[in-house]
Structure 1
Amino acid sequence: MVSKLDPDSNNDLKYKVYLEERKLLVDAKREESRLFDKAILTLAAGAFGLSLAFIRQIVPSNGIKPGTMFMLIFAWAWFCISLLSTLISFLTSQSACSKQMEILEVQYFDNHNSQDEKNNPKNWPAILTKWLNILSIITFIIGAIFLAAFSISNLLPEGGHYVG
């Protein structure tokens, strides 16, 4: 009996396409793992570092204005959600690559050319990764808006606007 992974049992072109696609997926998985620490550190250091520097260097002279602390807390909460969804998305991305490799093996070696769901399963980790990335971007933007609102509110004089 011939092995499923034996190139002689399949069309050479099909096998080459399989190998190229598999290599790309392995490389993508490796790249996602490499970028994981870099992305988390960048987001965390940027968002929290900026807000802490603002509080330490700009706000201490006048103190945090009453009624604005909630904006900072909300900003931090949204940044945390963004960081967590980014963290989880990197993990689901790795699972998505593994799942796609399994799907490729079925498509190229089991000769399932049917278009039905049973023979062409969805890559749910890839779908989840996409939505986690969208969540991460949206929550980061919301956090940035709250941080900007907090900063502006604490930079304006008591009257609420600058007089020229």
Structure 2
Amino acid sequence: MQEYHHAFYEQRKGYLDALLDAYRSFDKTMITLSAGALGLSVVFVKEVAPAPAPETIWGLHIAWGLFGLALVLILSSFLTSQYSWQRAMDREDEAFTNGGVPPESGNAWAGATKILNISCLVAFATGVLAFVWFSTVNFTGVG
């Protein structure tokens, strides 16, 4: 039985390590993509479409706002993730002192982190769509 518990623990630890790596990769990717898209859009307006059609500028403003929002959301998720891990450790401490019985209260920070990550992805994707639309309408050709 001891061997089974050790194997279970090792497998569980492997899953947790993979999950943490996936979270880190997502966070880094979203920061890189959002900041990069913001920078790319500025260059596009400066170099390719320096005089966008006045009736389409709102598309660019929406894209910029959404890229900025994606950055704020992912950075906020860093904070809620830290709170979530702290809450998880506190729950484990409580369970340990109560003879293995976990506390009844949950971990709202974990849910908040999930919502922020999903919202970040939606904001970024919508920003990309707005920027693609703006770029397509205002493309003047290079050279």
Instruction: Determine helix, strand or coil for the equivalent of 2:55.
Output: coil
Q: Which runs of 4+ in 1 moved over 4 A?
A: 38-41
1: distance between equivalents of 2:101 and 2:93? 12
Task: Provide the secondary structure at the position in 1 that maps to 2:54.
Answer: coil
CA RMSD, Structure 1 to Structure 2 (Å): 3.2
Alpha-carbon distance in 2 for matches of 1:110, 1:70:
57
Deviation at 1:156, TM superposition (A): 7.0
Residues 71-123 of structure 1 show CA distances to partners (whole Å, capped at 9, x for unaligned) of 00011111111111101001100110010001111123322537xxxx23210
Aligned equivalent of 2:46, options 48, 56, 76: 56
Give the letter for the 1:132 counterpart.
L
Q: Which residue of 2 aligns with 1:8?
A: none
State the Cα distance separating 1:151 from its structure 2 match: 0.3
Please state if 1:129 is matched with 2:113. yes
- Alignment TM-score, normalising by the size of structure 2: 0.74
Matched residue count: 130
AA aligned opposite 2:47: Q
Higher helix share: 2
Q: Where do 5+ consecutive residues of structure 1 fail to align?
A: 1-12, 158-164
How far did 1:35 drift? 8.4
Taking the aligned partners of 2:130 and 2:81, their CA distance within structure 1 comes to 29
1:96 equivalent in alignment to 2:84: yes
- Normalised by the length of structure 1, the TM-score is 0.66
Structure 2, unmatched stretches of 5+, are none
Q: Does 1:84 align with 2:72?
A: yes
Verify: 1:47 aligned to 2:37, yes or no.
Answer: yes
Identity %: 31
Q: Which amino acid aligns with 1:146?
A: A
Residue 92 (structure 2) pairs with residue 108 (structure 1): no
Q: Is the 8 A contact 1:79 1:140 kept in 2?
A: yes
User: What is the Cα deviation at residue 131 of structure 1?
Assistant: 0.5
Which one has the largest radius of gyration? 1
* Amino acid in structure 2 at the alignment position of 1:46: G
Counterpart residue type for residue 70 of structure 1: W
